[in-house]
Amino acid sequence: MRAAGVGTRSTGDTVGAVPGVVFLNPTAGSELSSDEVREHFPGHRVVECPGEEIPDRVAAIIEDGSARPDFVAVAGGDGTLRAAAERLAGTGLPLLPIPGGTRNHFARALGIPDLETAAKAAQAGTVRRIDVGDVNGRCFLNNSSLGLYPKLVTRRESYERRMSKRLAQLKAAWEQIRHGHRFRLQMQGQWHRAWLVFVGNGCYGEHLLDFTDRESLGGGSLDVRLVLADRPLARTRVVLALLRGLESSPLIVRDTCPDTELGLAQGAVEVALDGEVERLEPPLRYSVRREALAVLVPPDRDGDAGSG
């Protein structure tokens, strides 16, 4: 994943001499072992525990002011990182993401593609503050969505093993739009029928459903996209737009804004937060927590934590 402008600023600090704590989620889908992590993080405390326990472990560290570590590292997927970030946001205690999941979008956006790079950030990295997205008090690092998007991503990635990214995206989108369920929502005072809503933390690519390449992480903005299902021949028109590679369509409503509110014609709804699904009560109030999360970035990312 690329992030041409992370939209952050340095706190002016680098990592000090206090040992960090490294949490390893052994069920996150990676092949990282505790021995391998300890080898790359000598002198730091490595704790192996299930992903669902990590938020409470992080909260306990924050509450114990007498033993505040230099940083909290998490080896796991985006969902595990999100849960840890929810506790760390606003505390100033830096989060160091270690790619240990299936996709690792957040770690890659910060220029950390592997364990070795994360170890360099722990040794001589720079602390930066970045934005996090918020919906009804729950945070997200990459994006939040309703409707078809989570299944679309899963299917597209499975198809990419045997075809081009564009064809994989087209096939996955057609599959989900053909069989998916529409829902009613209100945005900017208007009611719509839609297949999906995507809300990104920062700006993503220009293509209709390009929800993986992030152009910026920060800047105080949300990238909101609504795929409509209430126009004549909507299914066919969306697929044709994807096939032609168009970057705009009357079936796609896009807005870049600091906050937005989505009303829904139903009760509690499933909302994806960095790939993990939570049930939230509408209306869904989205906003940006400006520079709420401190993160560690590698030393060679000092000039621009999001370039690459």
Give the pTM.
Answer: 0.82
Tokens of 168: 């994989």
* 107-116, 165-174, 291-300: least confidently modelled range: 165-174
Beta-carbon contacts of residue 244 (< 8 Å; ≥ 6 apart): none
Average pLDDT across the chain, whole number:
83
Distance CA 5, CA 23 (A): 28
Distance CA 10, CA 121 (A): 14
Domain boundaries, the chain: 9-132+290-299, 143-288
If pLDDT is split at 50, 70 and 90, which confidence band does 99 have? very high
* 51-60, 207-216, 222-231: least confidently modelled range: 207-216
Asked whether the predicted pLDDT for residue 302 surpasses 70, the reply is no
* 7-21, 39-53, 161-175, 284-298: least confidently modelled range: 7-21
CATH architecture of 143-288: Sandwich (2.60)
Q: Which amino acid is at 132?
A: V
Same fold yes or no, 9-132+290-299 and 143-288:
no
Distance CA 194, CA 192 (A): 6
Superfamily of domain 9-132+290-299, CATH level 4? Probable inorganic polyphosphate/atp-NAD kinase; domain 1 (3.40.50.10330)
* 19-33, 36-50, 97-111, 189-203: least confidently modelled range: 19-33
Q: Is 43 left (phi over 0), alpha (psi -120 to 50) or beta?
A: left
Distance CA 235, CA 2 (A): 30
CB-based burial label for 248 (10 Å; 0-12, 13-18, 19+): exposed
Distance CA 41, CA 43 (A): 6
E-strand stretches of 258-283 = 259-264, 269-273, 276-280
Asked whether the predicted pLDDT for residue 261 surpasses 70, the reply is yes
